[in-house]
């Protein structure tokens, strides 16, 4: 039925999103078409899109309502209508930067603030973090 109502392209996107879910691969939905294809899975199971994020809400009529309907919040709301994955490209860069910040944080030590006396030791801690990481990598191999 999906290929009849939405076309083969939307059926393929729906299948790819479902396969990504089964393979535990995160998905960045880009634009109205991919969100509509993914919404079919959401209609079947409210948790079917737990591995997805909406890269941006487009200027296409109805896209904002659809994003809200599937319980998502877009990373960007820039009114773009460019296509070719432009929203996902921007969102992916932000997601990579957020992951790098999260993974690079030393949760055992306080975060240095500009007015904090430990701010001057921040570069030294970064260097020791790299040395510790290199030592761990050498001990594993």
Greater confidence (131 vs 80) lies with 80
Element (H, E) at 13: helix 8-22
* Cα→Cα distances 2→15, 44, 54, 68, 111, Å: 10, 13, 21, 22, 50
pLDDT of 33 above 70: yes
> What are the pLDDT digits (tens) for 68-105?
999 999 998 887 776 667 788 888 888 888 888 888 77
Q: Which of 9, 60, 68, 84 is catalytic?
A: 84
pLDDT of 50 above 80: yes
**pTM of model > 0.85:** no
- The answer to whether 60 is a known catalytic residue is no
Greater confidence (11 vs 128) lies with 11
Percent of the chain with pLDDT over 90: 38
């Amino acid at each position: 039925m999906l290929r009849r109502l939405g076309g083969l392209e939307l059926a393929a996107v729906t299948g790819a999103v479902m396969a990504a879910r089964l393979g535990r691969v995160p998905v960045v939905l880009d634009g109205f078409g991919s969100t509509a294809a993914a919404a079919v899975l959401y209609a079947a199971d409210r948790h079917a899109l737990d591995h997805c994020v909406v890269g941006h809400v487009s200027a296409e009529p109805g896209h904002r309502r659809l994003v809200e309907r599937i319980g998502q919040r877009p990373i960007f709301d820039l009114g773009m209508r460019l296509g070719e994955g432009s929203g996902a490209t921007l969102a992916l860069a932000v997601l990579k930067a957020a992951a790098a910040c999260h993974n690079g944080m030393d949760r055992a030590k306080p975060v240095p603030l500009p007015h904090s006396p430990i701010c001057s030791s921040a570069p030294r801690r970064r260097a020791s973090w790299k040395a510790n990481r290199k030592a761990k990598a050498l001990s594993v191999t």
